[in-house]
Chain A
């Protein structure tokens, strides 16, 4: 088992390096001149040349990439072009907020959509199933930011139950979390439903029924355990997409997370900030994928036995 986890962990490293490489390459070929950003009104050609030299921007791309990765290992994300402060400090302040938001929204999404999806698969032609399927179709098509605005209108402006701006507190978290989880809820529900339906139609379900296993146990013990595999995958992928989605949600609710930091960084062409935000998000997503792989190994005996035999 440990061998499996180590193997997955090792496989994660090139992926994260690859992501950093791609992002940095995209920003490297950018026509924006960091010197202009840093110097602002004090721009002179000589000063600009000096800035470029001190940041090492004249080095070949591959050298810059290697330097960035090495700095990263020491926890150094570089300094912001705009404020001159270390990006790492900003990241440390912002990242936990985004993480909390994503975790709360993931939890919300999972505890609501799994039972609904299972129930609608067990009774595929009931009114419950039809209504949830319709809600799912609507939910998937709802643009996150618009939903956020509508929720603000209803709960903050009209009913005055909840604050319109998001924050790391019980009340400040509710609307952003609902907004962020809505479209994923629909997706997870649909996957759960179709995965369960698929499993319920398998031959081994018929075997179980022929053994005299009760209806309840057929669903809980036989179908759900098999259906979990694709569901876990989708939940894992969702974490990544939610990281992307959090940018919009945070903007709508002015929630102090990575998303707003990233958007501001882009608007100010502050490359180290942009890079830092994206790298942190990418690492997060990578770790999530790793977790999914590990959970998989515990649920799926086909992977488990492969590794337990050889130690």
Chain B
């Protein structure tokens, strides 16, 4: 608790305000929009998302992104090639744009996968308790002892480097985070008095808990999804950079960086563009996540 007087007065004001005007949803929106950094984050991310969705309209995949063009290799930025060309004569700008599609798509599927598995495991653990809970959470603890990067590498090592395995690797390595959130939210909700109350008036256990759990953990999960999405994008490019993910010529920021290393000395723009793209994606998602956290739970804000 903060210095008692201030917090007391301020929280009371916040409560009084809510009575006066808006729904919680509007409140969250207002708090979010007021946070300038969060708005910057959402704008950057919207641009990246736009590039990913309309990549084919911006530049043609076959002719610009993957086609070898030795005649035009290693050119600096020009009107024809805004960010120059790489060692195979492929347009760097086009590859960065299409790289957004790769990263966002894979990152999204991997995040969804870990949310699905983690959510189910967490719900089972929290709901059934006893030895099932003990077993699931011990496994999660052990998984947390291994850095996500190493776990993902182990999975790729076993299964081989391709898109599906990378999704599995990134998705599975992030399961514990979601499992923990959902489990703790189930446990919190189970112990709450309104659940007891609902049970007392004869409502069915499962339905009550499911509804309240969902409402209860929605906030933290939304926040965690944005942060894990960011970490998934980083993992995709990290694995690809190591040669364990997307292989060239398919456009991916990490493998572009890996390829550019040879010619880095003379053509620094080759490492600048894809790196900037990774940075901006993660940066914007982190801002978004922080903004959402503050907006969803104003008490946490410092």
Contacts and interface: CB of A to CB of B under 8 A. Distances in A.
Q: Is there any pair of Cβ atoms, one from A and one from B, under 8 angstroms apart in the complex?
A: yes
Contacts of B52: none
B138 interface: yes
Contacts of B158: 26-27, 29-30, 32
A145 B147 contact: no
The prevalent SS among residues of A at the interface is: helix
B279 A146 contact: yes
Interface string B59-100: 000000000000000000000000000000000000000000
B132 interface: no
B141 to A, nearest CB: 7
Contacts of A27: 154, 157-158
Interface string A209-237: 00000000000000000000000000000
A18 B142 CA distance: 6
B174 to A, nearest CB: 13
B241 A145 contact: yes
B147 A243 contact: yes
Contacts of B145: 15, 18-19, 240, 282, 285-286, 289
B275 A31 contact: no
A267 B2 CA distance: 54
Contacts of B159: 30-31
Interface stretch (A1-9, A78-86, A106-114, A135-143): A135-143
Contact of B154 (A15, A23, A142, A263): A23
Given A15-B145, A137-B283, A141-B282, A247 B275 contact: no
B166 to A, nearest CB: 13
Interface string A12-48: 0001001101110011011110000000000000000
Nearest to B157: A266
B29 to A, nearest CB: 23
A203 B1 contact: yes
Interface string B115-158: 00000000000000000000000110111011111100111111
B149 A247 contact: yes
A244 B157 contact: no
B278 A146 contact: yes
Interface stretch (B185-193, B202-210, B263-271): B263-271
B242 A248 contact: yes
Contacts of A241: 147, 149
Contacts of B155: 26
Contact of A142 (B141, B146, B148, B279): B279
Interface stretch (A64-72, A150-158, A169-177, A295-303): A150-158
A149 B271 contact: yes
Interface string B232-274: 0010011001111000000000100100010011001001001
A189 interface: no
Contacts of A244: 147-150
Contacts of A152: 264
B160 A31 contact: yes
B24 to A, nearest CB: 25
A27 B159 CA distance: 8
B302 interface: yes
A289 B145 CA distance: 9
A140 B156 CA distance: 25
A17 to B, nearest CB: 9
Interface string A265-296: 11101000010001001100110010000000
13 contacts: A18-B139, A22-B143, A23-B154, A124-B302, A137-B283, A138-B283, A140-B282, A143-B279, A198-B302, A202-B1, A245-B149, A251-B241, A281-B147
Given A141-B282, A152-B264, 17 more contacts: A26-B157, A137-B37, A141-B279, A145-B257, A146-B274, A149-B257, A150-B275, A153-B264, A153-B268, A157-B265, A197-B302, A241-B147, A244-B149, A245-B147, A248-B238, A263-B153, A266-B157
Interface of A: 15, 18-19, 21-23, 26-27, 29-32, 124, 137-138, 140-146, 149-150, 152-153, 157, 194, 197-198, 201-203, 206, 240-241, 243-245, 247-248, 251, 262-263, 265-267, 269, 274, 278, 281-282, 285-286, 289
